[in-house]
Amino acid sequence: MNETLKGLSEVVKQRKEHFEEGSYTCYLFDKGLDKILKKCGEECSEMIIAAKNNDNEELANEICDLCYHVLVLMAQQNLAIEDVVAILEQRRQKIGNLKQFHVSDHNT
Ligand SMILES: N=c1c2ncn([C@@H]3O[C@H](COP(=O)(O)OP(=O)(O)OP(=O)(O)O)[C@@H](O)[C@H]3O)c2ncn1[C@@H]1O[C@H](COP(=O)(O)O)[C@@H](O)[C@H]1O
């Protein structure tokens, strides 16, 4: 798993366990699920607009905002990043195998 995402996920989980003055993450946990969901929706819309405007610098920044808020959502719901990555990995292997199958199918 990517170290940056893993590190950020750890910080977010720590913020859920221990209050820290001035922490935006603590502010989100304090507000609760509705606020976190609202922020995920908002950041998702901003990502879409950045893509529509063909602004890749803005798009990258909005994707970062969205990833951060999704990590907060996962911590709020007690969903471990490892569990999400495991599903991605299963899909990667399954789809990789399917492609191999189709290629060998064509060659026979
Ligand atoms: N990656 C992020 C990150 N991305 C976005 N944001 C915050 O998300 C907010 C989104 O901006 P908006 O203008 O949409 O929202 P706002 O008007 O500030 O706030 P709302 O009232 O709308 O909630 C900003 O305040 C950003 O600072 C983040 N805040 C924190 N992190 C990471 O989380 C770590 C812990 O941060 P703290 O919890 O603040 O210590 C940091 O070191 C960073 O690595």
Prediction ipTM score: 0.92
Q: pLDDT tens-digit profile of 49-103? A: 999 999 999 999 999 999 999 999 999 999 999 999 999 999 999 877 777 766 6
| Same-domain pairing of 73 and 49 | yes
> Residues enclosing ligand 1, CB less than 6 A?
8, 11, 15, 20, 23-26, 39, 65, 68
68 CA to middle of ligand 1, Å? 8
24 CA to middle of ligand 1, Å? 5
Q: Where are the beta strands (DSSP E) in the chain?
A: none
Q: Which residues contact 15 (CB under 8 A, 6 or more apart)?
A: 23, 25, 26, 29, 75
* Residue entry with tokens 């935006």: 24
pLDDT at site 2: 87
Query: Domains in the chain: how many in total?
Result: 2
Domain that holds residue 99: 80-108
Q: Cβ–Cβ contacts within 10 Å for residue 61, how many?
A: 14
pLDDT at site 108: 54
| Same-domain pairing of 62 and 85 | no
| Same-domain pairing of 19 and 63 | yes
pLDDT at site 106: 60
pLDDT at site 107: 59
What is the mean pLDDT of the segment spanning 32-56? 98
Global pTM value: 0.90
Which residue's alpha carbon is at the smallest distance from atom 18 of ligand 1? 24
